[in-house]
Structure 1
Amino acid sequence: MFALTISFAAAGATVPAIIFALLTALTAFVFYLWRDELNLVASLLAVSTKGLRDNPHIVTAVVGLQLAAFAWLVPLVGFMMFANMNGAVAVSRDAVARDASSGVCVDGVGAAVDCCAWETEAWVPPYLFLAAVSGIWFVSAALETRLFVIGGTICQWYFAPVGTSDFSGGVRRALGHALGPSFGSVCFGSFVLTMVELARSAAERLRREDRDNILVCIIVTCLECVYAIIEYISKFAMLQASITGEAFCEAAASVTDLLSRNFLTAYGTYAFPGMILQGASLVIAVGFGCATWLLSYGVFAATLAANAGLYAGLVGILSAIISLVVMSFFAMIALNVVDAVFLCYAMDKDRNSVHRGELHAVLHEVNEKNQPQGGLVRNPGGQYAYGSYA
């Protein structure tokens, strides 16, 4: 917003410059009020990524799952395109009459339309629908498997005995559970996400077709909140299933009860990790793109003087896009790790135990920021436990 303020001011657009200057000041003030929470979340990200550093093959597994999803989608799209080729040319259903003088077909309101249209065979529409559902379901299953693997691996790392330094095999074990005993939970969780996605698409299509109906707009907006809640609960349910081995529905009920008992309003602080990582990804991508543009311009100016600026700009934009994709990929993994650590900490707190004191020191401070009724204290035996502040 500050960059837009400078741009509008340089262009002489006074009113937009003032508006964005006020928005910039307001945003800076809000971040100033949230400085304690932001510092705590930065510490939370730092200690949570220790789990990712100790289990680097999480990245390998996630890349493999995404390649598997891509390998499924490519032939599926080809089959859908081939299915659309099965049909014949027929009279367009929109054409209700034909002007004898001009030979142009018109619809019911007199607008010109094509006289002919491609009409597919009867089996094609159901096949396309089932293929689309299967594609969404498979991608959702890959995403849920990714979440299960991250949750299962981080759980093994978190609850490992003190002094453990070798965590090899954790990813393989979690992946075996995801594709073995818990495969039904993965499939059912991905089916829930598939239904949510189909319902969201239908609601969005309804809103586009009936833009002037305020009731439809209100209903679709309310449904978006319901979809977001379902997706949020589904995420933690899959993490719970990866840790405890429960079925999906049982995991959803138990994790909701667990987090409700232990965190309540502290959820607000956990909205920051995504904002921080996504913002950092964007800034790094823009910086990398600008650096690539400057370097490219210096090279192209010596060889392609006429189009040096154009070529350098294209290279800079492409570099920024690639950088943003890569950074967003690692930010996504880091956020899943934070969620898994968050859930493991909730289990520790619920059982009045501590497995990783350095994580508890940060996570407990984040939680108690909004709930100052108890504290993490060391008892005479040297063990951590939750008690009242002195």
Structure 2
Amino acid sequence: MVEAQVYVISITIAQWYFSKDELRPKRAIRSSLRNAFSHSSGTICFSGLIFSSVRVVRSMVDNAREEETSGIVNVILRCSVSALMSAIDFLNKFTINFAAITGEAYCKATRMTYELLKHNLLSSVFVEIVSTRILAGIILVLSAIYTILVCVILNAGIRLGDDAYFVAVMAWMLLIVILGYFVHVLDNVIDTVYVCYAIDQDRGEVSKQQVHDVYVHLPISRSHRPGFPVRAPLVV
């Protein structure tokens, strides 16, 4: 269901991104839901299975890195870890976004997403980590400010005493849940726009000038390679 949510958001945002300003997409969410739960349902389920498996493997790799071993065993482990992480690098969270935009099968979309970002941008890790950390920081700051205000208002106006701290903590938890949901959606939107921007870069086109004005400031890969043909996005 999480991957289905990402799929629907990706198609909806891609229809907005690649549409002309005078021709705004109609019934974008309805068409996205129809695509997600019809011919693309297998891709979504397979993506969820793969992504969960990748998380388990990454956890095992991180644990292996923390173990202290010496001699030839340490060298073999380090080489194995490096090779495994290189293979896992193909499986990033942008694959489902690309599959939703282009309609490609998951395995093919995995390779094409990796090549697309490698040819045109620095790394998928840049947006994947920076955007997530920034949004998480915003949640913490807003929730902390809100909690302090609630506590001050309760103590000054109602004078609940120690109960004010309990109410403030409950308000903080509720706000974390609400903001977490919206930030999760916003994070998926950022990922989709990032992939759309990469497709524009590969084609040498500008679909949304305001997006290019922002992403042009991101680090660009110095080693330019010729692009590869990408199937036309599933937008109207």
Contact 1:269–1:366, Cα closer than 8 Å, also in 2: no
CA spacing shift, 1:163–1:250, aligned 2, 3 Å: same
CA distance in 1: counterparts of 2:112 and 2:183, whole angstroms: 28
Letter in 2 for 1:236: F
Contact 1:266–1:367, Cα closer than 8 Å, also in 2: no
2:184 aligned residue: 332
CA spacing shift, 1:275–1:295, aligned 2, 3 Å: same
Percent sequence identity is: 27
Letter in 2 for 1:157: W
CA spacing shift, 1:266–1:251, aligned 2, 3 Å: closer
CA spacing shift, 1:266–1:345, aligned 2, 3 Å: same
TM-score, normalised to structure 2, is 0.78
CA spacing shift, 1:294–1:231, aligned 2, 3 Å: farther
Give, in angstroms, the shift of residue 163 of structure 1: 1.8
2:19 aligned residue: 160
CA distance in 1: counterparts of 2:182 and 2:122, whole angstroms: 29
Letter in 2 for 1:355: S
CA distance in 2: counterparts of 1:227 and 1:311, whole angstroms: 50
CA distance in 1: counterparts of 2:127 and 2:41, whole angstroms: 33
- Correspondent of 1:357 among 197, 209, 229: 209
1:254 aligned residue: 112
DSSP 3-state at the match of 1:283: helix
Contact 2:51–2:91, Cα closer than 8 Å, also in 1: no
2:165 aligned residue: 313
2:2 aligned residue: 143
**Gaps in structure 1 of 5+ consecutive residues:** 1-141, 208-212, 302-307, 374-390
Give, in angstroms, the shift of residue 347 of structure 1: 0.7
CA distance in 2: counterparts of 1:330 and 1:229, whole angstroms: 32
DSSP 3-state at the match of 1:162: coil
Confirm whether residue 244 of structure 1 aligns to residue 102 of structure 2: yes
DSSP 3-state at the match of 1:366: coil
1:183 aligned residue: 41
2:233 aligned residue: none
Letter in 1 for 2:192: A
Letter in 1 for 2:19: A
Deviations 1:48-98 (A, max 9, x none): xxxxxxxxxxxxxxxxxxxxxxxxxxxxxxxxxxxxxxxxxxxxxxxxxxx
Deviations 1:280-331 (A, max 9, x none): 1101001111111111223442xxxxxx331000011111111122112211
Give, in angstroms, the shift of residue 265 of structure 1: 5.4
Letter in 2 for 1:263: L
Task: Write 1 or 2 for the structure with the bigger share of strand.
Answer: 1
2:199 aligned residue: 347
Give, in angstroms, the shift of residue 274 of structure 1: 1.7
User: What stretches of structure 1 move > 3 A for 4+ residues in a row?
Assistant: 196-201, 222-232, 265-271, 370-373
1:169 aligned residue: 27
2:230 aligned residue: none
Contact 2:122–2:219, Cα closer than 8 Å, also in 1: no
Letter in 2 for 1:155: A
CA distance in 2: counterparts of 1:162 and 1:258, whole angstroms: 26
Letter in 2 for 1:179: F
TM-score, normalised to structure 1, is 0.49
Higher relative contact order (CA 8 A, sep 6+): 2
DSSP 3-state at the match of 1:164: coil
1:289 aligned residue: 147
Letter in 2 for 1:162: D
Contact 1:289–1:320, Cα closer than 8 Å, also in 2: yes
Contact 2:95–2:113, Cα closer than 8 Å, also in 1: yes
Give the paired residue count: 214
CA distance in 2: counterparts of 1:246 and 1:223, whole angstroms: 30
DSSP 3-state at the match of 1:355: coil
Contact 2:14–2:196, Cα closer than 8 Å, also in 1: yes
CA distance in 2: counterparts of 1:273 and 1:338, whole angstroms: 8
Contact 1:147–1:238, Cα closer than 8 Å, also in 2: yes
Please tell me whether Structure 1 or Structure 2 has the larger radius of gyration of its CA atoms: 1
Give, in angstroms, the shift of residue 147 of structure 1: 1.1
CA distance in 2: counterparts of 1:277 and 1:315, whole angstroms: 25
CA distance in 1: counterparts of 2:56 and 2:86, whole angstroms: 14
